[in-house]
Each structure stands twice: as C-alpha cells, then as structure tokens.
C-alpha cells in the first residue's frame, strides 16, 4: 500500500481510500497500480467480507490524472489496460462493494463508483462523464455500466453531452442507491457495510455474480446458473446455520465454511 491509497479493516469490512486530495483524488499510474494490488489482495483475503471505496478530502475521484508524469515509451493502449484491470477486479470481486461518494465523481472516477455494487452519495455530490470535454470517449467500464444502469438513451445523453448532474438526479437514473446528508454518511455506510459483512459470504458472492451476468443470458441459462449456485451454497455451513438460527429465534452466524453432509445409511 502507498500513501496515495489507504487501507483499513473493521469487522470484516475493508475500506480503501483514494488519498490524493490535492488533486481531488485523480488517479495517476502509481495509484492505478496500488488499486490493482489492493483489489487483488482483497479478493483472496477470506477475512474481507465487504469493501468500501471512498476518497479523502471531500472528493471521491476526479478521474485519471492527465497531468501525471509516466513512462512516455508506453503505448496509450497499455496505459488504458491498467484502468481495465482495476475495472474488472472491482466488478468480479467476490464480496459486496460500496462506493461512498462525497464531492466530485468524474470520468473514470465516476465509473469506479458505478463499478461498485451499491453507491451512497451526499446531496453535495456531483457526477460527470467528462470524457467528451477532453476529446475522449468513456473508459474504466463506463460504456458497459451506464446503459445497463440508466438505459441506453440516458447513457448517451450523459456521455455525449458530458453534463454534470447532482446526486438526486443520479439517484433517479439508478446511478446512486442512496443520498444521505453529509453529516450522516459515515455512520450510514458503516452500518450498511457491516450488515453486508455479516451476510453469508459464499451466497452473497454467488448472488453478485448471477446478477452481474444476467443481462447476457437467456432465462434458461440464468436458471442453470442459479442451480449451480445453489449447489455451491448448500455445500457450505451457512445454509444449515440459517435454518438452525430460524428455529432457535436468533441471528445466524455465517462463516462461508465448506460443509459436507455425512453419507446416509442408504448411500451405496
């Protein structure tokens, strides 16, 4: 981890904080690399049950840092692949993710927020697909995420006009999940992420993957994937734990541990 990306763990929740407030958390090559490493680590750390992505200093992220010095010998396509790696890792992370947005979320920064499963913003938050103003087209997954979340026409409007919208409009378009007063967002996200972290980790990972992949599947394909996911879920200790907790009128304690039923006497 570098000073530009802070990481902290509380109760199964890992919080990654973009920490370049002097640049409104614009992401330079070093920070892209740090994000890639942090997301890879989180994907393989069983102690991580939920992930929060946020920014320091009153902004979420103003996008890629176009002023950052880099390796001039690298082809631009190679540089964009750094963004692509982060977008894929965030999308495929097997735990629920929450974007906590205060201030600006612009360009690739907004698309990082959209790549999270849930987005919490303050009324002061502002969002823009700024690319057209820079002579560019969307990256970091924006061309895939926007139509799926807001519909094709609204996606075209946001990308072609590069308008800035506020949090309430973003929420009305399905691009923000909750708008919470600034003084309450820390507590709201802490409670939300804590509840996600207490959920059944394997089942939540299966659910996230099913929903992410559903748009490209037929109903029959989705049903087949659901059946496979349920088979995975029933092989954990969480399903019987849920039944026991219900019968005993208590909260379940989910662990995600592998659980195999002992062979019955009827097993040949």
CATH assignment of the domain containing 59: 3.90.226.10
| Rounded distance between C-alpha atoms, residue 124 and residue 182, angstroms | 8
DSSP secondary structure letters along 88-123: HHHHH-SS-EEEEE-SEEETHHHHHHHTSSEEEE-T
156 and 243 assigned to the same domain: no
- Whether 232 is covered by a domain: the verdict is yes
Question: What is the pTM (predicted TM-score) of this model?
Answer: 0.92
- Whether 82 is covered by a domain: the verdict is yes
| Rounded distance between C-alpha atoms, residue 189 and residue 194, angstroms | 8
112 and 11 assigned to the same domain: yes
- Phi/psi for 85 (5° steps) reads -60, -45
- Phi/psi for 53 (5° steps) reads -115, 125
- Whether 252 is covered by a domain: the verdict is no
72 and 58 assigned to the same domain: yes
129 and 227 assigned to the same domain: no
159 and 243 assigned to the same domain: no
28 and 157 assigned to the same domain: yes
Domain range for 108 is: 5-197
93 and 134 assigned to the same domain: yes
167 and 228 assigned to the same domain: no
146 and 165 assigned to the same domain: yes
- Whether 38 is covered by a domain: the verdict is yes
Which residues contact residue 257 at a Cβ distance below 8 angstroms, ignoring those fewer than 6 apart? Answer: 236, 237, 238
List per-residue pLDDT tens for the chain, 268 residues long: 679 999 999 999 999 999 999 999 999 999 999 999 999 999 999 999 999 999 999 999 999 887 765 556 777 777 788 889 999 999 999 999 999 999 999 999 999 999 999 999 999 999 999 999 999 999 999 999 999 999 999 999 999 999 999 999 999 999 999 999 999 999 999 999 999 999 999 999 999 999 999 989 999 999 999 999 999 999 999 999 999 999 999 999 999 999 866 555 554 4
- Phi/psi for 132 (5° steps) reads -60, -30
**Is residue 179 within 8 Å of 171, Cβ to Cβ?**
yes
**Is residue 7 within 8 Å of 15, Cβ to Cβ?**
yes
DSSP secondary structure letters along 205-253: HHHHHHHHHGGGS-HHHHHHHHHHHHHHHHTBSHHHHHHHHHHTTS---
């Amino acid at each position: 981890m570098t000073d530009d990306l802070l990481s902290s763990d509380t109760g199964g929740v890992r919080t990654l904080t973009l920490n370049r407030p002097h640049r409104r958390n614009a992401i330079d090559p070093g920070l892209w690399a740090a994000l890639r490493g942090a997301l890879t680590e989180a994907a393989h750390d069983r102690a991580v049950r939920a992930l929060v992505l946020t920014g320091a200093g009153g902004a979420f992220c103003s996008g890629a840092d176009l002023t950052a010095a880099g390796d001039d010998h690298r082809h631009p396509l190679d540089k964009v692949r750094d963004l692509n790696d982060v977008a894929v890792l965030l999308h495929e992370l097997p735990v629920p993710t929450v974007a906590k947005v205060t201030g600006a979320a612009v360009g690739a920064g907004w698309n990082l927020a959209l790549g999270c499963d849930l987005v919490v913003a303050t009324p002061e938050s502002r969002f823009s697909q700024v690319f057209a103003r820079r002579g560019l087209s969307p990256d970091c997954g924006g061309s895939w995420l926007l139509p799926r979340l807001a519909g094709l026409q609204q996606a075209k409007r946001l990308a072609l006009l590069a308008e800035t919208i506020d949090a309430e409009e973003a929420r009305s378009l399905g691009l923000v999940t909750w708008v919470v007063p600034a003084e309450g967002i820390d507590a709201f996200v802490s409670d939300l992420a804590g509840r996600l972290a207490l959920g059944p980790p394997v089942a939540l990972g299966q659910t996230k993957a099913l929903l992410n992949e559903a748009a490209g599947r037929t109903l029959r394909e989705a049903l087949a994937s659901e059946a496979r996911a349920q088979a995975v879920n029933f092989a954990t200790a969480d399903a019987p734990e849920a039944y026991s907790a219900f019968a005993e009128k208590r909260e379940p304690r989910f662990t995600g541990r592998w659980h195999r039923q002992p062979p019955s006497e009827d097993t040949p």
